[in-house]
Amino acid sequence: MNNLSGVPVSGQTRALGMSTLAFSVCFAVWTIFSIIGVKIKQELGLNETEFGLLVATPILTGSLSRIFLGIWTDQYGGRLVFALVMVFSAIATYLLSTVSTYQMFLVAALGVGLAGGSFAVGIAYISKWYPQEKQGTALGIFGVGNVGAAVTNFGAPFLMVALGCVGCFPRLLSSAMP
């Protein structure tokens, strides 16, 4: 995508819009442990160290994964890498609803952390869609995807209250009942 002369504005806009939406979803998933971690801590009786490790795992994974995700984006293209990040993050997020042990929550947290690496994918991908003089604006718009973290922190508690947290962790809750 080095030659931008044949790229229509509508293609650029579509790539930017879809990437920003995907980034928002990824960031919402990436920060989910800041909300559900407290409930997991209560249900599993975690001490402060275990809880800290559980909440920090996806953040650390997201930060470290940016290195290889950025490289892969340059090698294989942002569309493919972004799709794979979202698929693996979705699988890890689904795993959260099926696990019941601390160790498996840590495994799921590692997978959820990949969603945090979406930032590097999007930056490398979007910058190739725009000429240098418009990249700052495009990347600024893409950066709005950080709102996903706020959506999680604002919306997830309402959703958990609405669900009564029943269905949040079915195996965990069912194993705690007599």
Q: What type of residue is 106?
A: L
Give the residue carrying structure tokens 């490289």. 71
C-alpha span between 122 and 118 (Å, rounded) = 6
- pTM score, two decimals? 0.78
Could you say which architecture CATH assigns to the domain 9-176? Answer: Up-down Bundle (1.20)
Question: What are the structural domain ranges in the chain?
Answer: 9-176
The answer to whether 148 touches 100, Cβ cutoff 8 Å, is no
CA–CA distance from 118 to each of 5, 38, 39, 139, 160 (Å)?
27, 25, 26, 13, 26
Instruction: Give pLDDT tens digits along the chain (178 positions).
Output: 456 666 678 888 898 999 999 999 888 888 887 778 888 888 899 999 999 999 999 999 999 999 999 999 999 999 999 999 999 999 998 998 888 899 999 999 999 999 999 999 999 999 988 888 998 999 998 988 888 878 877 776 676 666 665 455 544 444 444 4
